[in-house]
Structure formats: C-alpha cells, structure tokens
Amino acid sequence: MSIDVEDYFHVSVFDGIVPRSQWDTMESRVVRNTERLLDIFDEFEVHSTFFVLGWVGERHPDLVKTIASRGHEVASHGYAHRLVYDQTRAAFREDVRRAKAILEEASGRRVIGYRAPSYSITPRSLWALDVLIEEGHRYDASVFPVHHDRYGIPGSPRHAHRLERSAGSIVEAPASTVRLAGVNLPIAGGGYFRLLPYMWTRWGIDRLNTVEQRPAIFYLHPWEIDPDQPRIAAAALSRLRHYRNLDKTEGRLRRLMRDFKFSTVSTLLQTSTAADGAGLPMSAEPRAAGAVTRRVTWV
C-alpha cells in the first residue's frame, strides 16, 4: 500500500494553472485527508508507505511525525513536484536532497524510498536513478511499465527488481500491471482505481497474487478521498481525471482492504520472493517507540 502525500493543487495536470508561487495561498487539505487515511489504515491494521512531498513535509512536520509514529514508512515524493525529465541533473539532485533532509528531520528515521511526481522516470530521465543512489536512496518506485502520454517505460520489468547502475545499485519497485495480449495494463491505483470499476482492480490484484504469485503495489493520493475539495478551472480531460468518482474512492479503498492484505513497500522488498533476489537488507533501520512489528503479509 502506498500513498503519495500531496495536496489537490499539486498534481501535474494542474501544472501551469496553479503556479508554485500560489501554492501557499491555496486552502490546504492534505493534513486532514492524510489523517483520515491513517484512521482507515488503523481500522484495517494496514501499514503503508507514505511518499511525502517535501513541500508538504516542510509545512506540516507534525504530519510526517505522526505517519512514522503510527507505524508507517515515510518515503520521498521529491520537494517541489517537478517532473524529473523537465529538470537538469543538478536541479533534480537539489530537489531530492532537500526533500530527504526535511522528511528525515521530521520523522526521525532514515528515508530510503523515492517515487517521482507522475512516474516521471522514463527512458529520457534514467540518469535520475544514479542521482537517487548517490543521495542515499535504496529503492525507487517511479517506473510505470506502460504506455501513457506523460510517463512509462513499456518494456521495463513488471515486478520489483534490482538495477545495476554506474553509481551503484537500487531496487526498482514498479506500479502494478497485468499483461494481456502482449500489453501491460495498470491495475492498482490512482485514476485507474477511481475511474474504472472496482472489479478491475480486484481482478488484477487477484491475478497477480494467484497466477503470478506476486504482490501488487497499490497507490493513492489523500485528495482522492476528498469529494469536497475546491474545484480548479482546468481542461475538460484534466477535470475528468481529477474529479470523477471522488465520492466513491473511500468506500472502494475499504473494500480493497477487506479483499486483500497490505504492508509497506520496504516490507515487501525485504521479502525475497517479492523481488527476484532484490531483497533489501534493512535491519539497521531504527524503529519508532511503539511501532509494532507485524507478520509480513502483502498482496
């Protein structure tokens, strides 16, 4: 289970409509929505990875602290939600370094995971993996092995795997797909979860678990369970992608957690069968007081 912790106005489809200079003037709903997710996860005894935007962590350090103290993993969504392939190598390094420092300070834990805004590590931004390694990240969750207008590496492996790069090695934990007629189709999260019928997600995860014997990596955003968020005047397609079925998502999430078991991304990666020998030794990680070590269960 993974959550990209950002506000409704941070998403890439609103880039250019809500400039970064205006972010601080917008009504913030991310704390309330994330706390709601934390309560839902408590209810189902689910531990999740929260990829927190550095910009959010800087303004709401108590939220980051709460995420960690309630037994979840804090990981990085970068600082300013800029697409990786739109940045220079130096700017990307500055962005991920800043986010990691903010999140480690707030959580009191080492941050080892990263997910790029809009899965923007693509064939033209693979250099970012070297920067992530150099900046101390142990896994990346930014490659979506599909065709899409903004992201995707269709030929990339569909399950967690270790990548050897010139800077060292890193585990890649891609968002989940099923392969049908030679095409990878997204099944586990975000707009696909909201826009398509719930049974699509359920069928896809069940197929991964039973036919392929693999876990799924599911993702969602706090704003996706907030039907009352302020509406932003954007193009029709963007509005469709962002606003449709917001009132149904929480109910679907609850159903999903009744149908499957979930854990954090780093827990999944420590399970060697999940990662093709890409196992992530992490025994040195300090655990927060009160954090519960749970049986390793994942979908």
Strand partners, 163: 170
Judged by CB, which is closer to Zn ion: 4, or 58?
Answer: 4
Partners of residue 165 on adjacent β-strands: 168
Closer of 4 and 73 to Zn ion (Cβ)? 4
Nearer to Zn ion, 118 or 270 (CB): 118
- Residue 227 bridge partners (DSSP): none
Cβ 1 vs Cβ 262: under 8 Å: yes
Q: List residues near Zn ion by CB under 5 A.
A: 4, 6, 117
> Measured between alpha carbons, how far is 154 from 147 in angstroms, rounded to an integer?
6
Mention every residue, 6+ apart, whose C-beta is less than 8 A from residue 142.
84, 114, 115, 116, 119, 120, 121, 128
Report which of 193, 171, 180 is spatially closest to residue 252, judged by C-alpha positions.
Answer: 193
Least separation in angstroms between CB 238 and Zn ion? 14
Q: What is the closest distance, in whole angstroms, from the C-beta atom of residue 11 to Zn ion in the complex?
A: 6
Half-sphere exposure of 91 (CA within 13 A, CB side): 10
For residues 19 and 164, what is the distance between their CA atoms, to the nearest angstrom? Answer: 37
Give min distance, CB of 261 to Zn ion, in A.
25
Smallest gap from Cβ 10 to Zn ion, in A, equals 6
Q: β-strand 2-5 against 219-220: which pairing, if any? A: parallel
Chain CA centroid to CA 260, Å: 18
Looking at beta carbons only, is 13 or 187 nearer to Zn ion?
13
Least separation in angstroms between CB 77 and Zn ion:
6
Fill in the amino acid letter for 191.
G
Helices (H) and strands (E) in the chain — how many of each?
Answer: 10, 10
Which C-beta is closer to Zn ion: that of 118 or that of 263?
118
CB of 34 to Zn ion, least distance (A): 13
Of 4 and 172, which has the nearer Cβ to Zn ion? 4
